[in-house]
Structure 1
Amino acid sequence: MIRFASEELDRWLKGPDRKPLVMRGARQVGKTWLVRDFAKQQGLQLIELNLEKYPDYAGLFSGNSPREILKNIEAQLAFKILPESACLFLDEIQAAPELFAKLRWFREDMPELPVIAAGSLLEFVLKKADFSMPVGRVTYFYVEPLSFFEFVLALGNEPLYQKMLSTSPQAPLPQPLHARCMELYRQYCLVGGMPEAVRTWLDGRDMQSCIKIQHDLLSTYRDDFHKYGGEIDARLLHKILLSVAGQLGNKFVYSRVDPDVKAPLVKKLLMFLSQAKVCSMVVHTSGNGLPLGAESNDKFFKALMVDVGLVSAHLGLASVKSADLDNMLLSNRGGLAEQFVGQQLRAAQTPAMDPRLFYWQRTGGRQGEIDYILQHGADIVPVEVKSGAAGSMKSLHQFMAEKSLKMAVRLDANPPSVKEMSVKTTQGRLVKYRLLSLPLYLAGNINVLLER
């Protein structure tokens, strides 16, 4: 598979002030594969130490001298290591969190050796750690599931991917290609972007095998929390995951998880899920200025799952008849379109920063909501998500009038277009702005198209 994050790893390797790199992301999003492929492409000798599988390897790092540590590793693995042509990979480092403190010595005493660490649930183990992280001496790298564009490339259709990149309101895809992209969008909503599920789909186009992989992943997440998060009610955790899938596209309400469970406990477990990257929060913003999070309201947020395929597995969509499934995917039921768009927006952000998403909701008086609020350069751009080919935009008109913005984006099932809007709000106020309409499958290319 082709992962766009590989390009960022190349830049890190060739950077003038390279620091040890710590990969973060949910379990099974492809961190280990990325490192192995990176070493192969760069012609580096990969020194891979899986600290969960071989916990005794942590003892090889007993001292603070990188050269002594390398000698220990050489003796353990029975081969010579040349720092200039090797890459040290500490996989599943959460199993030996004390090794984080050792990374600073590689940065200071052996900068010629590229060092990468990867792990899941790092926030849990770091909270309990009795050492200080090497602040300023490591860099972070956030990994997401395969994006829709990466999914299309994995299917072997690079020509279609290239056509999508060149698509614009001035040069829309021919109708058969647009229909093909929408078909792949629906396929992606079921398979998702978790690498193992994608590989299973590529091998046999068997949806039931994909579902088995997806449910195994969800079980792994629950097992992880029991392992690292202490005594957590597995049934309640399952209910929260189901509720996140069920409340997609809406403000998350704690009481909908289980009316008999107190909100603070649900909030705590949902925060655990967010820290483990199994879920992510779409944060409320006032939309008055930058940064977007400056005037947020903590009581208002939406929640996304790490992957739309896991949502579909949770909701049992693969067992729905084809005709009914199309209606569900092209409607707002379940918020699948918002999950899809949010996932593409996260994947499009730089791996150097933890992805953040924002939305706007009126916090008093009249109702109103904008699905996503983006920062594009110095501009604020609202994004409306419509699963089908039509839908009301009353909230968008009102938002554009209140904030005096000039550009908005609408994502739906239609080919791309640009329209100069001149409409009245429900209060009778005239508002003018430019609306960039894009098909859902181009969500990951919004910033490029806005720039054009």
Structure 2
Amino acid sequence: MQELPNLYSYLRYFKEKAPDFKVISAGSLLEFEINNKNRQQGPTGRIEYSYLNPMTFEEYLLAANKLAYDKLKELSPTKPVSEGLHTILSNIFKEYLVCGGMPAAVQASINKEGPLRLDAIKNDIITGYIEDLPKYSDLSDTKYDTELLERILSVVMSNPSKGLQYNKIAPGYKIEKVKKHIDILASAKVIRRSIHTSENKTPLLNGVNPKNYKLFGLDLGLCYSFMGVSPMSIYSNIDINDMANGAIAEQYVAQTLASIPPFYKTKAIYHWERQKKGSTAEVDFITEVGSEIYPIECKSGKSNKLKSLKLLLEEKVFKTSLRCYSGNTEIETWSITKNNDEEYQASVMSIPLYMLEHFIESKAS
């Protein structure tokens, strides 16, 4: 779409002159074309938007093992899974971590083409994104530094979930310039940004502090290839939260939260952090599901390790919190004494990482 001058503007004539035709338009840089101030008037008010993300784990599972998919959809996300099915779903989930959700990579994985072929496909996709970077200036009113864009993209893809300071992302560049280039990569949808919120009710946007942020890649599989992690290290690892200091698990949760319906708008990603001298803490995500707000932690081991979550619950009331890990479903009740000495009971639910999407769907319906 963005390759042909004014094609986006001509779409309005389909509505006026040929209403029988249903037109679907897509492009990796379509966002730039839509927001281009120099283009002619487009089909304003005559189009529907849908934001397409990489395939989710459930979509991958449907393609890889329909029987396992049907079994998962029958499960209650709040009850333990039988050990046999838990093992099967965990193994397929590891395949998804290596593959990611880009359609060509998924197809190769389903065809059992092997990790080398998967890696080649993902590297071709990454190369395509890098080759698109010079077009950012051509399709907008702003001049962007292609080398800086590539530097930021590489740092984020190889270190997802990190809240790096601007001068550490790109040493030698001015902070405002780095920020501007991060903004355009996020607008182009090749990276994702999670922002701190102090809110425990909707809208979460009311409590944001844009200075406290974390960055994620577009797709888990692309990040995996950037990291250079061996497939065998994924397949042989019991707890995914131990991989790459938890970055792989957090990247999975971030893109899952960004991919849930409705698809007509982009999803903001939030987390909570406290940056006090001698007392820093971070809860990986805070998200709205249905009518409730859930803190989400990606942590292995015993639930008593969730110290940051406990600090958050002492500051704000959350009825239910999630811990995503490689184990089976467990539910605990914590007795919390808030900072103002008020007491309440908090439910902490530990669920397998592969169960997250199913949990969200069950609560959102």
TM-score after normalising by structure 1: 0.72
Sort the Cα spacing of 1:268 and 1:174 in 2 relative to 1 into closer, same or farther, 3 A.
same
Runs of 4+ displaced beyond 6 Å: 425-429
Q: Percent identity?
A: 30
Aligned-pair CA distance for 1:214: 1.0
1-structure distance, mates of 2:73, 2:134: 43
Q: Which residue among 107, 121, 126 is the counterpart of 1:213?
A: 121
Deviations 1:393-416, CA, capped at 9 Å, x for gaps = 222222223222212111111212
Q: Counterpart in 1 of 2:110?
A: 202
1:435 aligns with 2:348: yes
Asked if 2 retains the 8 angstrom alpha-carbon contact of 1:248 and 1:334, the reply is: no
Which segments of 5 or more consecutive residues in structure 1 lack a partner in the other structure? Answer: 1-92
**1:266-281 map, 5 Å:** 266-281=178-193
- Distance of 1:376 and 1:288 partners within structure 2: 12
Contact 1:373 1:380 in 2 (8 A): yes
Q: What's the offset of the Cα at 1:151?
A: 1.0
- The answer for the alignment partner of 2:57 in structure 1 is 148
Are 2:10 and 1:102 equivalent residues in the alignment? Answer: yes
For the residues of structure 1 that align with 2:69 and 2:227, how far apart are their CA atoms? 29
SS at 1:410 equivalent: strand
Q: Distance in 2 between matches of 1:170 and 1:220?
A: 41
Residue 230 of structure 2 aligns to a residue whose secondary structure is: helix
Q: How much has 1:391 moved relative to structure 2?
A: 6.2
C-alpha deviation, 1:170, in angstroms? 5.8
**C-alpha distance in structure 1 between counterparts of 2:137 and 2:246, whole Å:** 29
User: For residue 169 of structure 2, what is the amino acid of its counterpart?
Assistant: V
The one-letter code sitting in structure 2 at the alignment partner of 1:271 is D
C-alpha distance 331-390 of structure 1, shift in aligned 2 (>3 A)? farther
Matched, 1:191 2:99: yes
What is the correspondence of 1:35-114 to structure 2 with a 5 Å cutoff? 93-96=1-4, 98-114=6-22
Structure 1 counterpart of 2:285, which letter? Y
Alignment of 1:249 onto 2:153: no
Report if the CA contact (8 A) 2:327-2:351 is conserved.
Answer: yes
Equivalences, count: 359
* Secondary structure class of the residue paired with 1:215: helix
Deviation at residue 440 of structure 1 after TM alignment: 0.3
Q: Could you tell me how far apart the structure 1 residues matched to 2:174 and 2:352 are? A: 41
Match of 1:352 in 2: 264
Q: Offset at 1:321? A: 4.9
Amino acid across the alignment from 1:153? L
Contact 1:371 1:384 in 2 (8 A): yes
Give the equivalent residue in structure 2 for 1:386: 299
Q: Which residue of 2 aligns with 1:285?
A: 197
Match 1:120 to one of 14, 24, 28:
28
**Aligned residue identity for 1:137:** R
Change (3 A) 1:322 1:120: closer
**Aligned-pair Cα RMSD in Å:** 2.8
Paired residues of 2:197 and 2:204 also in contact (CA < 8 A):
yes
Cα distance in 2 for partners of 1:163, 1:118 equals 34
Question: Cα distance 1:322–1:373, how it changes in 2: closer, same or farther (>3 A)?
Answer: closer
Q: Does 1:226 align with 2:138?
A: no
Residue 53 of structure 1 is matched in structure 2 by none
In the other structure, the counterpart of 2:43 is: 134
CA-to-partner distance for each residue in 1:54-106, whole Å, 9 max, x for gaps?
xxxxxxxxxxxxxxxxxxxxxxxxxxxxxxxxxxxxxxx11135232333333
State the Cα deviation string for residues 353-380 of structure 1 (Å, max 9, x = none).
1122111222556422221111133332
Q: Superposed, which structure 2 residues align to 1:336-375 within 5 Å?
A: 336-364=248-276, 366-375=279-288
SS, match of residue 134 in structure 2? helix
- Deviates further, 95-104 or 214-223: 95-104
Larger displacement relative to structure 2 (231-240 or 311-320)? 231-240
Q: CA deviation at 1:255?
A: 1.9
**Structure 2: gaps spanning 5 or more residues:** none
Separation of aligned partners in 2, 1:241 and 1:348: 24
Do the aligned partners of residues 204 and 428 (structure 1) sit closer, same or farther apart at CA in structure 2, a change above 3 Å counting?
same
| Separation of aligned partners in 2, 1:322 and 1:396 | 27
Q: CA deviation at 1:207?
A: 0.4
> Partners of 1:225 and 1:451 in 2: how far apart?
37
Residue identity opposite 1:383 in structure 2? I
Which residues in structure 2 correspond to 1:20-31 (within 5 Å)?
none
Distance 2:89 2:226 in 1: 24
Query: 1:377 pairs with 287, 290, 297, which one?
Result: 290
Contact residue 9 and residue 39 of structure 2 kept, 8 A: no
Secondary structure at the counterpart of residue 211 of structure 1: helix
Which residue of 1 is the match for residue 315 of structure 2? 402
Indicate yes or no: 2:87 matched with 1:179.
yes
Conserved 8 A contact 2:240-2:325: no
Structure 1 residue 441, shift from structure 2 partner: 0.4
The Cα shift of 1:218 comes to: 0.8
Larger mean Cα displacement after TM superposition, 201-210 or 137-146? 201-210
Code of the aligned partner of 1:278: V
Write out per-residue CA displacement over residues 211-264 of structure 1, whole angstroms, 9 at most, x where no aligned residue. Answer: 111111111101111134357555433331232134423323222223222222
Cα distance in 2, alignment partners of residues 267 and 328 from structure 1:
31
TM-score by length of 2: 0.88
Q: 1:309 and 1:180 mapped to 2: Cα distance?
A: 20
